[in-house]
Amino acid sequence: VTDPLRRLVYVPNPDFHGADRLAFRVRDVSGGSYRTDWRFSRNQGWSPAAFVDITVSPTVDLPLGTNSVASSPPSDGLGSIVLPFRGHGSGQVGTTFDLHIDTFPSRGELLTFGGAAAGAVIPGDTTGYVRYRPPANACGSRYAQFSYRLRDPVSGAFSTTYSGAVDVRCGPGNQCDGASGV
């Protein structure tokens, strides 16, 4: 043991839960033998093995996201920009998280499945339907900003808050011709 407090620290592998066992032996480093009994003299002062049974309880992994939203040109035929949140930020493979929009942009409209208001939880299987519709003649970098969190539908645990922004690119006649998220 190299810890100055003379303790052992057990750190399980990531995502491990269940039973584990630690086996150990101790030795007198001053040169003395563990026992004077002849049966232990060949162990050079080492004790018999002792065991510690460990139970690692499962923990809730918070959803992981990023402050970026993937690029998407207007593709719905309605002048809206589809924001592909489906699977966005999933740190856990195969997990679909719900989307919780905390603040909507002050310019334009963030259109959600079923018209969810700020603070509403949008089920993960429908989050591909979040769209941004810029106002007429809108143009600019980080034109619209909003914030959101991801929610694990099983545990109900929320991620930290992430920020999203939409860059509205202008085409001929100052019409919106695409967007990218930041």
* Cβ pair 34, 45 in contact under 8 A: yes
Q: What is the mean pLDDT of residues 124-130?
A: 60
Q: Give the model's pLDDT for residue 174.
A: 45
Q: Give the model's pLDDT for residue 94.
A: 59
Segment 104-116, tens digit of pLDDT: 888 887 776 656 6
* Cβ pair 34, 28 in contact under 8 A: yes
**DSSP secondary structure code for residue 62 in this structure:** P
Give DSSP secondary structure letters for 109-139: EEE-GGGPPTTPEEPGGGGGG-EEEPPTT--
pTM: predicted TM-score of the whole model, two decimal places: 0.56
Q: Give the model's pLDDT for residue 20.
A: 96
Mean pLDDT (the chain) is 71
According to DSSP, the β-strands at 131-133 and 109-111 are: antiparallel
Of 42-46, 51-55, 62-66, which range is least confident?
Answer: 42-46
Q: If pLDDT is split at 50, 70 and 90, which confidence band does 96 have?
A: confident
